[in-house]
Amino acid sequence: MPLTILFAAPSLWDEYRDHLPAALREAGLEANVVLDADPARVDYVIYAPSAPLQDFTPFTRTKAVLSLWAGVERIVGNETLTQPLCRMVDPGLTEGMVEWVVGHSLRHHLGMDRHIVNPDHIWDPTCPPLARERPVTILGLGALGAAAAQALTALNFPVTGWSRTPKQIGGLRCHSGQDGLQAALTGAHIVITLLPRTPETENILNATSLGWLGRGAVILNPGRGALIDDKALLAALNTGQVGHATLDVFRTEPLPPDHPFWSHPKVTVTPHIAADTRAVTAARVVAENIRRSETGAPLLHLVDRARGY
C-alpha cells in the first residue's frame, strides 16, 4: 500500500513538485505526496516552520515530521509534536554556506572593500598578511561549521572551532563549553557564528566576549540573529574593537528600515541569503530518511528536544 506523505509547506510546493516524487522513486518508495489529507492516514509530514500546520495531535499514524529548514527553534517547543522531528541537513545548503563564509572571509582578509569603493582614488599599496597569519574562530561545529572550517583551513587560515560539547575535527584546534569560549575567541581576527539559537547561545557575542577578540576583528554572522547582542556589537564597532560586521541574519526579518545596522559604515547587511535549502538535494535527504524509517534504520538528523536542535 502506498505511503501517504503530507507536504505541509504549501508555499514551497512549486519548488518540490517534481523533485520530491522523483527522489522517492529513486529511493524505491511507493508513495502519494499530497497537500491535504485525513491526519489519521498520514505516514509522514514534510514541514516548514512557517507552514500553517501547528497542531500535530491528530497525526496519530505519523512516523516522523521531516523539516525542510535547518533551524527548528520555531517548532521544537510545540507541545503537540510528539512524533520524531528531523531537521534538514542539505548538501546544497552546506555548499552555499561554505561559499558565503569563504567569500566574505577573503573579502575582509584581503581588504577588498577599500579598493572596490575608492571615490578619492587613493593609491594605497599596503598588502594584506597571508592567510596563515589571520586567525579565524568558528562558533558552531555542526555540519555547516565543520564544512566552513575545513574550507578555510584548506586556504591556510589557522582555524579554531568552538562547540558546546567536545568535538575533534582534523586540522582544527577545538574548544568546548563555557570554559573554552574565551580561549576560542581570544585574539581572533575573524569570527564566524554558525550556532543554532538556544537559550545557551543567545547573545553569545556580547560586551564581554567581544572584548576578547583581537582589536579590529571582523564578525560574520550567517547563523542566527540572536547570537549577537546588537547593542554590544554597535558599541564595539564605534570604539574600533570590532572593525566590521557582515550580518546575514537578524532578530527581526526583514531588518526594519530604521535599524542602525543599515546606516552604520562598518556594517554590511545581506538579506538572509548566505545559504538556502535546494529542493533537488533536500528532496533526496527527505526520501532517504523515509526509506530508513521504513526499513527500521535510525532516522538521520533527529532533533534532541532537550537540547533544542
Dihedral sign for Cα 81, 85, 87, 91, please: negative
DSSP character string of 274-302: S----HHHHHHHHHHHHHHHHTTPPPTTB
Q: How far apart are CA 38 and CA 61, in angstroms?
A: 11
Model pTM above 0.75: yes
CB count within 10 Å of CB 202 equals: 16
**Which residue in this structure is represented by grid cell 576578547?**
212
Hey, where are the domains in the chain? 3-90+277-294, 93-269
Q: Measured between alpha carbons, how far is 287 from 57 in angstroms, rounded to an integer?
A: 24
Task: Please list the residues that pair with 32 across neighbouring strands.
Answer: 4
Q: Chain-centre distance of CA 7, in angstroms?
A: 23
Q: What is the mean pLDDT of residues 132-137?
A: 98
Alpha-carbon gap, residue 183 to 62, rounded angstroms = 45
Grouping H, G, I as helix, E, B as strand and the rest as coil, residue 151 is helix
Q: Do domains 3-90+277-294 and 93-269 have the same CATH topology?
A: yes
Q: How confident is the model at residue 22 (pLDDT cuts 50, 70, 90)?
A: very high
**Rounded (5°) CA angle 164-131-207:** 45
306 has pLDDT over 90 = no
Judged against a pLDDT cut of 90, whether residue 142 lies above it is answered with: yes
Percentage with pLDDT > 90 across the chain: 95
Q: Which fold has domain 3-90+277-294?
A: Rossmann fold (3.40.50)
Please report which confidence band the pLDDT of residue 309 belongs to, taking 50, 70 and 90 as the band edges. Answer: confident
Cross-sheet strand order for the sheet of 44-47? 31-34, 3-8, 44-47, 64-67, 85-86
171-208: per-residue pLDDT in tens? 899 999 999 999 999 999 999 999 999 999 999 999 99
User: Are the CB atoms for 29 and 287 separated by under 8 Å?
Assistant: yes
Whose grid coordinates read 521531516? 66
The mean pLDDT value for 87-97 works out to: 95
Instruction: Please give the single-letter amino acid code of residue 242.
Output: V
- Residue 307: the pLDDT is 84
Pick the CATH number of 93-269 from 3.30.930.10, 3.40.50.720, 3.40.50.300, 3.20.10.10: 3.40.50.720
Report the catalytic residues.
224, 272
